[in-house]
Amino acid sequence: MAKLKGEFVWHHHDDEDELFFIVKGTLLIKFKDKDVLLKEGEFIVIPKGVEHLPVADQEVQVMLIEPKTTLNTGNVVNERTVENLNRI
């Protein structure tokens, strides 16, 4: 589970698919060729290797389903990178 607000960072995951399930609020996922707006109860699976940018104008509660070892910023390492998350 995560709470997101604002624009994240363009990134992709080399080896993992990533599922975003919207628990509360809305989340815009930008891709290079389109944008997808997700509302409560909706989800999207982003295949490995696909560059994307999550954007939340207002705080959104999201359930992320991905391997435990997935780096939150994928192929980008910056001040938003969290390497040691307490995940179950």
CA angle 69, 73, 57 (to 5 degrees): 125
Show the domain range for 33.
Answer: 2-65
Reading phi first (left if > 0) and then psi (alpha if -120 to 50, else beta), residue 49 is in left
Residues in the chain: 88
Residue 73 lies in a domain: no
Query: Considering the domain boundaries, does residue 40 fall inside one?
Result: yes
The residue among 16, 13, 29 whose CA lies nearest residue 76 is: 13
Residue 47 lies in a domain: yes
Is 74 domain-assigned? no
Please indicate, yes or no, if residue 57 is contained in any of the structural domains: yes
The pLDDT of residue 66: 75
Show pLDDT as tens, one digit a residue, over the chain (88 residues): 899 999 998 999 998 999 999 999 999 999 999 999 999 999 999 999 999 999 999 999 999 987 676 666 566 666 655 665 444 4
Question: Residue 65's pLDDT is what?
Answer: 86
Q: Which pLDDT score, from 0 to 100, does residue 88 have?
A: 42
